């Protein structure tokens, strides 16, 4: 498995939970706090379990999520 | 009936029902959607028909068809949607059918905005459609007056077989005030022998039509329309005058703007400036005589509109050079404040007014 | 001697203004015959189009409304919704119905308005002097396709029955022709079925009649019959595209 | 006498219904009333405000640009309307969400931690009623009884169990004035 | 180029081509169909596009799209079709796009007739669409002037980024007169950096739009439009005065009616009545100053229109009570005769005129 | 680390104004990704609708025109006919395209305008606050069908792809959904194919995307996904309704 | 064969020849003279050959033709 | 001098082209000209007329209501326009189709059996040229040469073989004047 980094731009998040719903590993949760727009943003709880499937990013309507991968030489 | 608290848009709907209107064809648009939404609930309850048309063009032509059958029928929209209805409105006027068309104006031109405006005055009073025709245009300034004018509107429409427009701005449509609907009426007393409902034993078929290919015939038709318009002009003007008796500066304004102007005039009076408000209730026919009567002691007239200056032309035409006419307007959804109007009054009073 | 064929009583005495050999006259007569036979004259409201048939209100001896160009289905909707007991039909040309009035006909069908539409497809704008219609055939010369209609520029003719057949609300859709006596009879049957369904409250019905415009086709009326048979029917197949037996 | 009130905050804070309750009550008491909503240009979420006019005489203009009273439920609302309040007017501030003091010296101001109090009551949605309670303590525009009567009419039967909660919130709001 | 004999409608088409217009979107309607028919032949010959739209609504929106790309584009119709275009026209004005819209007027309202008329004056000059906007309205009175004004129209449209309307009546459209098209031009000299043609390396995207949801922003936009309109008003009025210098009775008329009025004035002069004709060429902006200049020696103004009286309001507004204004009109496709106008002149000269 | 997923460059930096969980955002992103991947950003002109996506011109970093409600296909036609080298797409809602704009979409397809239409079908009028659309499902409650849509009054929802498929000019028609990652990917592929065909000059392409309006459906965004899957897809089957392989 | 009478209301006839074209017996011809509208009206040349098929009337767009039949008791 | 001519008849009698030939010729000769068609309200067939103005000076109104000359090609046209002709004007009557004499005494009138003459020439469609020939014999509005030149331009090449026929018709028309 390649190494992936999934990052959330919390200020864009509207807390819709579509990413959370899509994540096959169930590692996305909503934060307890709210962002400037007043929403509870999504965040990764167990990043190491991420399989880099990108489902979260595919489903996110607000371009909150960025995915990077270790290049496999 | 006692008073109830309702939004202007909803009152249009309920007042129509109270006037015996059972048919509504429309298309959603802000800021008047509360009206179709209200009627989509209410009309089926009382055996009426609410139908959302595929477009404003279709809606006005459904109204044309419904009006042809002699029923009381209404449609409503806001500025861009009213533009789309222009061909249909011209047909309804040309075929002499009664109906009510509501325009709750928003900022323009084009898509514009969704905030209140009064910049469709020309379109309403000069016929945005083609050909020589006029709508009877009623401009309520309160929720109660909406109720009264919608009822009156249906009667006028049927009396003259002419479309009536209720012209308001988004603020009036959204505002809540107490309203008393009074007694229920219907259009049953008006002659409907012209209606196309099937011959049902009648010898000659009824035809609803605006086509006269022979110019001689079309001219006769146009002259008949003209006669009707002249009659309406002479009989049906309505206006309110507020403190105009001794006013040196008269503010001419309609709808919500007129109410703000009243506040401004109150301010002016407090400062000893003799100001008043002239509020046309019928925008067409324009209450020319009433305006002249309201300005006998005036030194100048200030027209205030939520537009770049449209009704001001009717003010000028009515006064025909007798008094200086100035204009103050806000546009795009901006609402003139009472204070700003007061400042204009003050300025004009200094410019034209006598010694206090 | 008994009269077996004469002017139907749902027509007035007015002389048609149509050109020699124009099929509008045949189709008017068929509609009137059907109204007579079904006994509907007294409760019918006809909606006239803007097109050569604009004076339909002078010819049909029923209450009539002259609609704006293309809006007859909306006008018909207004009538039927307020007076459900009337029998309402619109009579429309191909410019009227398939061009400017496309939204109105699609939505009237989609809502399954209980009305009957007589759709006279003559592949041209007759009244305004022969401009291209959405049903003009490829290669057909008109005043606005002087070198013949080209599909690259204006696409292919619209098949209205086929298009409306995708709508569950369209109860009855048929395409017929009046280029010979047999087809005239079949057209009448289709029209009769359409009105019958309306009487039964079954919803939207439309009969598309392929029809000649000898004047703007620049043909003799007899020659125009061949154009229908050979050219139009080739692209616009006759038949029933929807009928209540299979509907909904 | 004419009193004009501007109520402003986020969409969802019960801004509109607060104003509606006031005019409803005013009407019950036989007063002249008017209510005008105004939604921000944002279509979704965003700010909202409404203006309320209550008077013994017919109301000339119900369009409120110089309110006697401002209820500011969040920061942007205070920023937007603070300067518009009439000289000598009153401002009610939802101090749960507004972190600053007002700049003007010519108006009276009350800081009410409406959200906190409402949350204490178990439902943050009655923060608006807390503010209303505070306001009515200071200005007897309409009677608390009228508000409760209005609430009864406005709420559907199925929500009548919320009436006591609302009454409590009004009371707590009134009490909060003491802490100012 | 030498003169050729052509119909007015066709000249509109050829003049557009000579002005560099290569795109036309329209829908057939009498009495202007010669124009689209002409262009359906001509445009493909020179690599242009003629497209028959599905409706007038579609046509005006195609024009909107085409104009947004910075090309010279035209559409045309007659009265009912122009009504259908009102929403689109308001969008084009609101988005500040240049284009030419032709209205060859026929009798109305509704389906009306197909004979000449001037009863869409209000619609053309007051904005039949919603919102505060104006079209530049040009009213040719001869086939040659059609050619000149179509060219001028494109330039004005692009100079001000504002739609221009060519307003004529059916008679003008059908009439044949000799015409000289002069030199060919194009719009290449005008700035088109705003056009939406793809970014092509540009940093910021171009946006053609009339939506401003914030009232403050929409008001700014409206004020900018206002400024433009004021500039056009001050710079672009055009009018012709015929024997007005010493005229006691001035006939105000536009288009074909003005030419008939000239014949009437010729008759009057023969009888020793000092009469003249004032012919506005721009209907908006209305040549107010020019009218006042043409009526310095006048005792009264007679407005003649093929309508129930529309331009007469602009005449009154321009004169502001300075002179009595009377009206003579024929409608429904009936054309006023020179003799009838002459009789009116005579009557007015007896009523207002000095001793001969 | 290499970025494998991030904001496409055909989008500006502007924050979407859409409600939480609104699918307009997903669809915007997919269009932008396709423009990036096909290298079209610089020659594209987008036509924004009137509907919730009215601000599309602020989001797509391409030249844009804001069209009147329903008229985007006509505006697109105006652009493409004058500038055939541009890539033109319209982005339209179901009220915009299937109600008021029915004539324009049918005729753009009939003419086979070489444009791409992104049709966002959320079975409701989002922007104006949840009124009934022509695609509203039977039984669905809206502000103008408060008791649920009834077929007797307003007919059945219009299937746009099926309707347009009757037109030879419609080159590519597909219905997709974005209710789960797999379908998001398929939607992107469909959009890509549509643009690709335009690049090749093949004519009219349209992708209908079933899309959620959680706000006016009165559902949580996640719940709205189920509504698409169970209710919408049941009436509006996904698939390709026309593709160039079989066209004309 | 029943006895039929086919009559033409010549003043309505526009000379389009559709009836003539439709007649299986070829017994309809155009008159040499013109009617008030300026058209050569159609007329029967051999009425006795008429089979009463009614094709002429079916095809006539202008309701020129009337057909009567002897009642068969 | 301004001359105005009204030409009226059935659609199909070549009314429009007769007028167009005249203005075309006028233009060739450097005169000011205008032509206005008018179709009856009937869409198909029916009557048609056109008016022609030819002048040495700019033409004020090309809208002809009091023609100097009337060419009446059929009965309804004569009925409609007889009274409109100027005092002292001229009326040309197609006596092949018009069975009555004119009522007025203050105009000059010529009866030309145009259809018959044209039929004699082998083509009834040149009846209009017969009338034109007659007219130009009486009023030298434009030259016959100009008419022929115009004809050459107006007719497509494939129809140039008809030129001699037209010339003949013009001549015959001129000759008919002698019989009046
Ligand atoms: C809004 C509007 N646009 C255009 C016209 C002009 N017009 C009249 S009839 C017609 C087309 C008629 O064609 P069709 O509907 O096919 O009927 P047909 O004459 O062929 O029977 C047109 C474009 C009009 N009257 N109104
Ligand atoms: C001519 C006109 N009619 C109506 C409106 C009001 N309006 C704005 S958006 C809209 C409907 C939007 O629904 P849809 O197209 O489905 O888009 P969505 O918001 O659902 O994405 C309407 C009716 C308008 N702006 N212009
Ligand atoms: S990439 Fe896949 S596994 Fe990782 S967080 Fe996103 S959805 Fe979950
Ligand atoms: S899908 Fe996007 S907007 Fe929604 S919760 Fe996840 S990160 Fe936030
Ligand atoms: S123009 Fe064509 S459709 Fe119209 S009447 Fe003549 S033949 Fe019939
Ligand atoms: S209203 Fe519906 S379509 Fe509009 S932004 Fe919100 S969720 Fe999306
Ligand atoms: S009824 Fe038949 S046989 Fe007799 S004339 Fe007519 S077509 Fe000929
Ligand atoms: S079909 Fe009718 S109109 Fe035509 S020629 Fe025969 S009788 Fe005359
Ligand atoms: Mg046709
Ligand atoms: Mg939608």
H8 bridge partner residues: H49, H72
Question: Could you tell me if the ipTM is greater than 0.90?
Answer: yes
* Helix H15-28 with H127-138: angle, nearest 10 deg: 40
Same domain, B51 and B175: yes
Does the distance separating the beta carbons of C77 and B69 come in below 8 Å?
Answer: no
Nearest alpha carbon to residue B325 among B309, B306, B339, B307: B309
Q: For residue H54, how many C-alpha atoms fall within 13 Å in the half-sphere facing its CB?
A: 24
- Rounded to an integer, the average pLDDT of A41-59 is 96
CA of H44 to the centre of ligand 8 (A): 17
Task: Note which residues in 41-100 of chain E have CB less than 8 A from chain B.
Answer: 57, 79-80, 82-84, 86-87, 90-95
CA torsion through residues H139, H140, H145, H150, sign: negative
Same domain, E287 and E315: yes
Which tens digit of pLDDT belongs to each residue from D81-93?
Answer: 999 999 999 999 9
Atom of ligand 4 nearest to the CA of A41: 8
CB atoms within 10 A of CB D109: 18
Burial (0-12, 13-18, 19+ Cβ within 10 Å), E95:
buried
The whole-number pLDDT of residue C195 equals 98
Please list every residue in chain G whose beta carbon sits closer than 8 Å to the beta carbon of residue H10. 38
pLDDT at H150 exceeding the cut of 70? yes
Same domain, E62 and E131: yes
Percent share of chain B, pLDDT over 90: 97
The whole-number pLDDT of residue A54 equals 97
pLDDT at D103 exceeding the cut of 80? yes
Which tens digit of pLDDT belongs to each residue from F109-131?
Answer: 999 999 999 999 999 999 999 99
Asked if E88 contacts E130 with a C-beta cutoff of 8 angstroms, the reply is no
Nearest alpha carbon to residue D24 among D171, D141, D159, D169: D141
Residue nearest to atom 2 of ligand 8 (CA): G60
Asked if C66 reaches chain E (Cβ–Cβ under 8 Å), the answer is yes
Same domain, B151 and B18: yes
F228 lines ligand 6 (CB under 6 A): no
pLDDT at E348 exceeding the cut of 50? yes
Asked if D146 contacts D103 with a C-beta cutoff of 8 angstroms, the reply is no
Which tens digit of pLDDT belongs to each residue from E286-300?
Answer: 999 999 999 999 999
Spatial separation of the C-alpha atoms in residues F79 and E37, rounded to whole Å = 22
Structure tokens at B156: 């006028």
Structure tokens at D175: 């009490």
Q: Is residue B77 part of a domain?
A: yes
In chain C, which residue's Cα lies nearest the Cα of H44? C19
Asked if F226 reaches chain A (Cβ–Cβ under 8 Å), the answer is no
CA of A61 to the centre of ligand 4 (A): 7
Does the distance separating the beta carbons of A54 and F181 come in below 8 Å?
Answer: yes
The continuous run of DSSP H or E covering D138 comes out as helix D127-138
Does the distance separating the beta carbons of C61 and B64 come in below 8 Å?
Answer: no
Report helix, strand or coil for F144.
coil
Q: How is H91-146 classified by DSSP, letter by letter? A: EEEETTT--S----SSSEEEEE-HHHHHHHHT-GGGHHHHHHHHHHHH--SS-HHH
The whole-number pLDDT of residue H11 equals 78
Q: Give partners of A (≥3 CB pairs < 8 A).
A: D, F
CA of D11 to the centre of ligand 4 (A): 21
- Rounded to an integer, the average pLDDT of B102-107 is 97
F215 lines ligand 6 (CB under 6 A): yes
pLDDT at A38 exceeding the cut of 90? no
- CATH of segment(s) H3-179: 3.40.920.10
Q: What sections of chain C are H helices per DSSP? A: 24-38, 56-59, 72-82, 94, 102-110, 151-154, 160-164, 181-199, 214-217, 221-226, 233-235
Does the distance separating the beta carbons of F18 and A15 come in below 8 Å?
Answer: no
Spatial separation of the C-alpha atoms in residues E27 and C100, rounded to whole Å = 9
Q: How is F58-115 classified by DSSP, letter by letter? A: HHBSSEEEEPPTT-HHHHHHHHHHH-TTSEEEEEEEHIIIIIITHHHHHHHHHTT-S-
CA of F5 to the centre of ligand 3 (A): 12
Q: Which residues line ligand 2 (CB under 6 A)?
A: B 27-29, 56, 80-81, 84; F 50-53, 69, 93-96, 120, 122, 124-128, 133, 213
CATH number for G26: 3.30.70.20
C22 lines ligand 5 (CB under 6 A): yes
Spatial separation of the C-alpha atoms in residues F147 and F133, rounded to whole Å = 15
CA of A18 to the centre of ligand 4 (A): 6
Residue entry with tokens 């988005």: E95
Structure tokens at E317: 């507004």
Same domain, E173 and E270: no
Residue G47's domain comprises 2-71
Spatial separation of the C-alpha atoms in residues H54 and H26, rounded to whole Å = 7
Spatial separation of the C-alpha atoms in residues C95 and F235, rounded to whole Å = 32
Count of C–F CB contacts within 8 Å? 71
The whole-number pLDDT of residue G73 equals 56
Which tens digit of pLDDT belongs to each residue from E169-209?
Answer: 999 999 999 999 999 998 888 999 999 999 999 999 999 99
Residues of D with CB under 8 A from a CB of F: 42-45
C214 lines ligand 1 (CB under 6 A): no
Calculate Rg over the CA atoms of chain C: 17
The whole-number pLDDT of residue A35 equals 87
Task: Note which residues in 84-113 of chain B have CB less than 8 A from chain C.
Answer: 87-88, 91, 95
Q: Which residues line ligand 7 (CB under 6 A)?
A: G 6, 22-25, 27-28, 44, 50-56
CA torsion through residues E148, E152, E157, E162, sign: negative
Same domain, E48 and E185: yes
Which tens digit of pLDDT belongs to each residue from A14-26?
Answer: 999 999 999 999 9
In chain D, which residue's Cα lies nearest the Cα of B3? D27
- Rounded to an integer, the average pLDDT of A40-62 is 96
CA of B123 to the centre of ligand 6 (A): 33
Q: Is residue E31 part of a domain?
A: yes
pLDDT at C247 exceeding the cut of 60? no
The whole-number pLDDT of residue D154 equals 85
Which tens digit of pLDDT belongs to each residue from H160-173?
Answer: 999 999 999 999 99
The whole-number pLDDT of residue F108 equals 98
- Burial C101-113, CB ≥16 within 10 A → b, else e: bbbbbbbbbbbbb
Structure tokens at C238: 């006759």
Same domain, E344 and E195: no
Write the CB contacts of F233 (distance below 8 Å, at least 6 apart in sequence): F177, F210
* Distance (Å) of CA A57 to CA A53, F19, F185: 9, 17, 11
Asked if E250 contacts E278 with a C-beta cutoff of 8 angstroms, the reply is yes
The whole-number pLDDT of residue C246 equals 63
In chain H, which residue's Cα lies nearest the Cα of E116? H38
Report helix, strand or coil for C129.
coil
Q: How is C105-125 classified by DSSP, letter by letter? A: HHHHHHTT-S-EEEEEE-SSB
Number of domains in chain G: 1
Domain boundaries, chain D: 3-179
> CA of E212 to nearest chain D CA: how many angstroms apart?
9
The whole-number pLDDT of residue H45 equals 58
pLDDT at H44 exceeding the cut of 70? no
Q: What is the dihedral of CA F104, F108, F111, F113, to 10 degrees?
A: 150
A17 lines ligand 4 (CB under 6 A): yes
Nearest alpha carbon to residue H27 among H4, H47, H54: H54
- Rounded to an integer, the average pLDDT of E240-253 is 98
The whole-number pLDDT of residue A2 equals 60
- Rounded to an integer, the average pLDDT of E309-338 is 98
Average pLDDT value for chain H: 93
Going by pLDDT thresholds of 50, 70 and 90, the confidence category of residue G22 is very high
Calculate Rg over the CA atoms of chain E: 21
Q: For residue B296, how many C-alpha atoms fall within 13 Å in the half-sphere facing its CB?
A: 8
Q: Which residues line ligand 3 (CB under 6 A)?
A: A 6, 22-25, 27-28, 44, 50-56
Please list every residue in chain C whose beta carbon sits closer than 8 Å to the beta carbon of residue B199. 41-44, 61-63
Going by pLDDT thresholds of 50, 70 and 90, the confidence category of residue H39 is confident
- Rounded to an integer, the average pLDDT of B250-260 is 98
pLDDT at B89 exceeding the cut of 50? yes
The whole-number pLDDT of residue E356 equals 46
Tell me the Ramachandran region of residue C105: left when phi exceeds 0, alpha when psi lies from -120 to 50, beta otherwise. alpha
Spatial separation of the C-alpha atoms in residues C167 and C158, rounded to whole Å = 16
Q: What is the DSSP letter of C18?
A: P
Number of domains in chain E: 2
- Rounded to an integer, the average pLDDT of E338-344 is 98
* Domains assigned to chain C: 24-130+159-213+220-242 (3.40.50.970)
Asked if B215 reaches chain H (Cβ–Cβ under 8 Å), the answer is yes
Please list every residue in chain F whose beta carbon sits closer than 8 Å to the beta carbon of residue A61. 16, 18, 21-26, 29
Residue B140's domain comprises 4-235
CA torsion through residues C191, C192, C197, C200, sign: positive
Residues in chain C: 248
* Helix C72-82 with B56-68: angle, nearest 10 deg: 50
The whole-number pLDDT of residue D10 equals 85
Residue nearest to atom 4 of ligand 3 (CA): A50
- Rounded to an integer, the average pLDDT of B234-258 is 98
* Distance (Å) of CA E56 to CA C63, C242, E25, E251, F107: 29, 31, 9, 35, 13
The whole-number pLDDT of residue D41 equals 59
The whole-number pLDDT of residue D12 equals 80
Q: Is residue E356 part of a domain?
A: no
- Rounded to an integer, the average pLDDT of C54-62 is 98
Does the distance separating the beta carbons of C71 and B61 come in below 8 Å?
Answer: yes
Atom of ligand 6 nearest to the CA of F129: 1
Residue nearest to atom 5 of ligand 6 (CA): F18
Atom of ligand 3 nearest to the CA of A67: 1
Going by pLDDT thresholds of 50, 70 and 90, the confidence category of residue A73 is low
Q: What are the φ/ψ torsions at residue D6 (nearest 5 degrees)?
A: -110, 130
**In 3-state terms, chain F is what percent helix, strand and coil (to 5)?**
40, 20, 40
Distance of CA E65 to the CA centre of its chain: 22
Q: What are the φ/ψ torsions at residue B10 (nearest 5 degrees)?
A: -70, -35
- Rounded to an integer, the average pLDDT of C26-55 is 98
pLDDT at F245 exceeding the cut of 90? no
Q: Is residue E300 part of a domain?
A: yes
Asked if D36 contacts D42 with a C-beta cutoff of 8 angstroms, the reply is no
Does the distance separating the beta carbons of E67 and F66 come in below 8 Å?
Answer: no
CATH number for E324: 3.40.50.920
Nearest by CB to residue B33, choosing from F50, F69, F129, is F129
CA of H12 to the centre of ligand 8 (A): 21
Q: Final residue of a domain: which of E172, E207, E235?
A: E235
């Amino acid at each position: 498995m390649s190494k992936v980094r999934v990052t959330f731009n919390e200020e864009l998040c509207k807390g819709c939970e579509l990413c959370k719903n899509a994540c096959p590993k169930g590692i996305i949760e909503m934060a307890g706090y709210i962002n400037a727009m007043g929403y509870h943003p999504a965040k990764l709880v167990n990043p190491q379990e991420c399989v880099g499937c990108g489902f979260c990013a595919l489903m996110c309507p607000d371009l909150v999520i960025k995915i990077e991968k270790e290049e496999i030489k | 009936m006692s008073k109830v608290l309702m939004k202007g848009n909803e009152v249009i709907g309920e007042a129509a029902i109270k006037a015996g209107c059972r048919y509504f064809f429309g298309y959603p648009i802000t800021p008047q959607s509360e009206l179709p939404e209200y009627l989509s609930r209410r009309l089926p309850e009382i055996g009426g028909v609410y139908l959302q048309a595929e477009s404003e063009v279709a809606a006005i032509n459904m109204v044309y068809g419904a009006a042809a059958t002699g029923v009381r029928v209404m449609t409503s929209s806001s500025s861009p949607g009213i533009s789309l209805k222009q061909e249909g409105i011209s047909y309804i006027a040309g075929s002499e059918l009664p109906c009510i068309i509501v325009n709750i104006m928003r900022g323009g031109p084009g898509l514009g905005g969704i905030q209140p405006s009064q910049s469709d005055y020309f379109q309403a009073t000069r016929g945005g459609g083609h050909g020589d025709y006029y709508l009877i245009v009623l401009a309520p300034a309160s929720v109660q007056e909406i109720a009264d004018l919608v009822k009156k509107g249906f009667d006028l429409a049927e009396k003259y077989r002419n479309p009536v427009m209720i012209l308001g701005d988004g603020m009036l449509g959204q505002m809540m005030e107490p309203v008393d609907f009074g007694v229920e009426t219907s259009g049953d007393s008006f002659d409907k022998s012209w209606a196309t409902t099937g011959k049902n034993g009648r010898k000659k078929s009824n035809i609803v039509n605006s086509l006269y290919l022979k110019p001689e015939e079309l001219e006769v038709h146009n002259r008949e329309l003209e006669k009707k318009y002249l009659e309406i002009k002479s009989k049906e003007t309505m206006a309110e005058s507020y403190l105009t008796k001794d006013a040196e500066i008269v503010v001419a304004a309609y709808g919500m703007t007129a109410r703000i102007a009243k506040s401004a005039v109150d301010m002016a009076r407090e400062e000893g400036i003799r100001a008043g408000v002239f509020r046309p209730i019928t925008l067409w026919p324009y209450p020319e005589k009433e305006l002249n009567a309201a300005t006998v002691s005036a030194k100048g007239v200030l027209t205030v509109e939520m537009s770049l200056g449209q009704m001001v032309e009717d003010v000028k035409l009515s006064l025909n050079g007798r008094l200086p006419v100035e204009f103050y307007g806000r546009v795009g959804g901006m609402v003139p404040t009472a204070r700003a109007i007061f400042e204009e009054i003050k300025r004009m009073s200094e410019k034209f007014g006598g010694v206090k | 001697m008994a009269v077996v064929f004469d002017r139907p009583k749902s027509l007035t005495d007015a002389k048609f203004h149509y050109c020699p050999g124009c099929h509008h006259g045949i189709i008017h007569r068929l509609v009137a015959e059907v109204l007579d036979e079904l006994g509907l004259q007294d409760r019918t409201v006809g909606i006239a189009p803007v097109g050569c048939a604009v004076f339909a209100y002078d010819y049909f001896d029923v209450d009539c409304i002259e609609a704006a160009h293309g809006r007859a289905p909306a006008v018909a909707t207004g009538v039927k919704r307020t007076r459900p007991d009337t029998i309402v039909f619109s009579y429309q040309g191909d410019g009227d119905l398939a061009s400017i009035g496309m939204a109105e006909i699609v939505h009237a069908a989609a809502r399954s308005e209980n009305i009957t539409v007589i759709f006279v497809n003559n592949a041209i704008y007759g009244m305004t002097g022969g401009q291209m219609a959405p049903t003009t055939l490829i290669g057909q010369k008109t005043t606005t396709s002087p070198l013949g209609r080209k599909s690259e520029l204006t696409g292919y003719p619209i098949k209205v029955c086929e298009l409306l057949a995708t709508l569950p609300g369209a109860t009855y859709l048929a395409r017929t022709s009046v280029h010979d006596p047999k087809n005239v009879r079949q057209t009448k049957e289709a029209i009769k079925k359409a009105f019958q369904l309306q009487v039964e409250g079954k919803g939207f019905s439309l009969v598309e009649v392929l029809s000649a415009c000898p004047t703007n086709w620049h043909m003799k009326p007899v020659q125009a019959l061949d154009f229908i048979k050979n050219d139009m029917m080739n692209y616009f197949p006759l038949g029933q595209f929807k009928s209540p037996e299979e509907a909904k | 006498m004419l009193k004009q009130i501007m109520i402003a905050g986020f969409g969802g804070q019960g801004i509109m219904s607060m104003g509606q309750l006031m005019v409803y009550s005013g009407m019950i008491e036989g007063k002249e009333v008017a209510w005008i909503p105004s939604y921000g240009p944002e279509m979704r979420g965003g700010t909202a405000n409404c203006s309320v006019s209550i008077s013994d005489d017919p109301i000339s203009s119900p369009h409120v640009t110089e309110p006697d009273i401002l209820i500011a439920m969040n920061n942007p609302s205070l920023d937007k309307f603070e300067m518009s309040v009439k000289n000598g007017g009153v401002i009610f501030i939802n101090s749960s969400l507004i972190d600053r003091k007002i700049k003007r010296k010519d108006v009276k101001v009350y800081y009410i931690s409406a959200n906190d109090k409402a949350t204490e009551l178990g439902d943050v949605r009655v923060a608006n009623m807390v503010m209303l309670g505070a306001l009515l303590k200071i200005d007897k525009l309409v009677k608390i009884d009228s508000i409760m009567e209005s609430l009864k009419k406005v709420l559907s039967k199925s929500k009548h169990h919320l009436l006591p909660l609302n009454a409590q919130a009004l009371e707590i709001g009134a009490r909060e004035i003491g802490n100012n």
